Amino acid sequence: PTCERYAVRRLPFGRLADGDVAFFERLLPGRVVTGEEEVKPFNVDWLKSVRGCSQLVLKPQTTAEVSQILRYCHERNLAVSPQGGNTGLVGGSVPVFDEIILSTALMNQIISFDKVSGILVCQAGCVLERLSEYLEEQGFIMPLDLGAKGSCHIGGNVATNAGGLRLLRYGSLRGTVLGLEVVLADGSALDCLTSLRKDNTGYDLKQLFIGSEGTLGVITAVSILCPQKPKAVNVAFLGCQSFAKVLETFTTCRAMLGEILSAYEFMDEKCMELVETHLKLSSPVAGSPFYVLIETSGSNSTHDEEKLNSFLEQAMASGLVTDGTVATDDKKIKVLWSLRERITEALTHEGYVYKYDISLPVGKLYDLVTDMRARLGQSAKNVVGYGHLGDGNLHLNITAESYSHSLLDAIEPFVYEWTARCSGSISAEHGLGFKKRQFIQYSKPREAVVLMQQFKAMLDPKGILNPYKTLPERSTC
């Protein structure tokens, strides 16, 4: 069969036979999911925009079981789609055809936590929010946070190299992940699960798997460096009259808040309209074309509040900011964060969402939204912009009542050409998955793509791991 919208052909993998299911049932008693209805939620992505037709979900609990699964699949030439919390936004976490789904849902054990170093070692299927709760009880936090925290797994976060709301402060997972355990396509386990801040013994192999979106190996355990829980957290939610003022506010707040700045997020008025309409959230700040959320995290509340207040006074006095509110208690902080974090959810109420996740020089971040709005006119329901401004990361989202090929043609490749002209990235943090893989050349030279394909061929010669994802079809290179 061919997947029509994307015109993809099934590769010649083996087909699941009764003997295969019997083998897995012996290996994972009670942890094999079959039956169309039971498998359905694993076949559909979070956005409900792509759908596979797998007949089998496997839920291993140990690395040894993952090894045995992959050894068997490798021998039988059966394709496998690794899946964590299935919150990915580029169609990478669900099968395209009948790939077996290897779910990390039951690999949810914390292995160790060292309170002196702040290093956490855990299995890949731990839910991010559970890890955060566990750490907070001990005075630490995870170095990453995202709106999908209640469902996403740390293994999925590492596999996508998720960015999120704390990257500005704690950096990318490429810096905070210290070690990984990975099972390769042939079932062999690679133990790079070290907990060292420094280790220059040859190539840093774990980096290959961070952001590899399940195409090079299955991540089974993660060692990650966690910061101390800040003693004082403040959030300011502010209204700005133009994007130029959003940028100037960023410059000012970086200068005045310095080391305590931990997030600088922005959203346009359309986003605010959507969270208010669809989620019934109400904002204490209204009537502005742009909103920014500024978070500070520090160790001395008096000092931090003083700094924040003098920044706010200056921002108001100079007209950078026209309205705003500040939260110091947990409850109000959560309310303000949800206005920004829940935009993704609000958008799904609109109908179909065309999602773009772009890195750009920060000064040009909103020009893409304006240009796209002008280009699409009435053919789109909404064109909105929000994102991690402090990281130069725009989330451009276009909504319509339902999917339409002509609207897609109006958006792509325009959006990618626009991004490439600015030397941006067509995927800042979500990955390429199934939806974006054919556009990799807008952000990577041919030589880099060829080298990636060589790595893939070396680590997964039969191509059984998450086929049709991340790398383009060979013919395009």
- Point out which residues bind ligand MLT (CB under 6 A): 147, 343-344, 357, 387, 395
Tell whether omega for the bond before 413 is within 30 degrees of 0, i.e. cis. Answer: yes
Q: Segment 317-376, which members bind ligand FAD (CB under 6 A)?
A: 344-345
Which CB sits closer to ligand MLT, 342 or 444?
342
246 token code pair: 């959003």
352 token code pair: 């179909």
Residue 429 interacting with ligand FAD (CB under 6 A): yes
Cα–Cα distance, 149 to 153 (Å, whole number): 8
Which CB sits closer to ligand FAD, 278 or 373?
278
Cα–Cα distance, 110 to 10 (Å, whole number): 38
Out of ligand MLT, ligand FAD, none, what residue 104 binds, judged by CB under 5 to 8 A for its kind, is ligand FAD
Out of ligand FAD, ligand MLT, none, what residue 157 binds, judged by CB under 5 to 8 A for its kind, is ligand FAD
Name the nearest CA neighbour of 307 among 254, 376, 246.
254
Name the nearest CA neighbour of 73 among 16, 150, 12, 1.
16
Q: Which of 43, 49, 132, 157 binds ligand FAD (CB under 6 A)?
A: 157
Out of ligand FAD, ligand MLT, none, what residue 218 binds, judged by CB under 5 to 8 A for its kind, is ligand FAD
Phi/psi of residue 453, nearest 5 degrees? -65, -35
Cβ within 8 Å of residue 117, ≥6 positions away: 195, 197, 225
Out of ligand MLT, ligand FAD, none, what residue 399 binds, judged by CB under 5 to 8 A for its kind, is none
Q: Which of 33, 56, 67, 85 binds ligand FAD (CB under 6 A)?
A: 85
Cβ within 8 Å of residue 176, ≥6 positions away: 143, 144, 170, 224, 225, 226
Q: Which of 83, 172, 288, 399 binds ligand FAD (CB under 6 A)?
A: 83
Binding segment for ligand FAD (CB under 6 A), chosen from 12-20, 21-29, 84-92, 223-231, is 84-92
Out of ligand FAD, ligand MLT, none, what residue 88 binds, judged by CB under 5 to 8 A for its kind, is ligand FAD
CA 78 from chain centre, in angstroms, equals: 27
CB of 237 vs ligand MLT, minimal distance in Å:
16
Q: Which of 79, 121, 141, 146 binds ligand FAD (CB under 6 A)?
A: 146
Out of ligand FAD, ligand MLT, none, what residue 187 binds, judged by CB under 5 to 8 A for its kind, is none
Q: Which of 159, 226, 246, 294 binds ligand FAD (CB under 6 A)?
A: 159
Q: Which of 39, 57, 89, 96 binds ligand FAD (CB under 6 A)?
A: 89
Residue 92 interacting with ligand FAD (CB under 6 A): yes
- At 303, which amino acid appears? H
Cα–Cα distance, 437 to 91 (Å, whole number): 10
Cα–Cα distance, 396 to 418 (Å, whole number): 13
CB of 469 vs ligand FAD, minimal distance in Å:
6
Q: Which of 49, 68, 93, 223 binds ligand FAD (CB under 6 A)?
A: 93
Out of ligand FAD, ligand MLT, none, what residue 395 binds, judged by CB under 5 to 8 A for its kind, is ligand MLT
Cα–Cα distance, 413 to 417 (Å, whole number): 6
Q: Which of 33, 78, 122, 124 binds ligand FAD (CB under 6 A)?
A: 124
Name the nearest CA neighbour of 385 among 375, 373, 400.
373
CB of 387 vs ligand MLT, minimal distance in Å:
6
Structural contact between residues 214 and 81, judged by C-beta atoms closer than 8 angstroms? yes
Beta bridge partners of 133: none
Strand intervals (E) in 284-370: 290-298, 323-327, 352-359
CB of 387 vs ligand FAD, minimal distance in Å:
9
Quick count: other Cβ atoms within 10 Å of Cβ 413?
A: 14
Name the nearest CA neighbour of 178 among 222, 210, 127.
222
Out of ligand MLT, ligand FAD, none, what residue 152 binds, judged by CB under 5 to 8 A for its kind, is ligand FAD
Beta bridge partners of 239: 291, 323
What residues line the site for ligand FAD (CB under 6 A)? 46, 81-89, 92-93, 104, 124, 146-148, 152-153, 155-157, 159-160, 162-165, 213-214, 218-219, 344-345, 429-430, 433, 466, 469
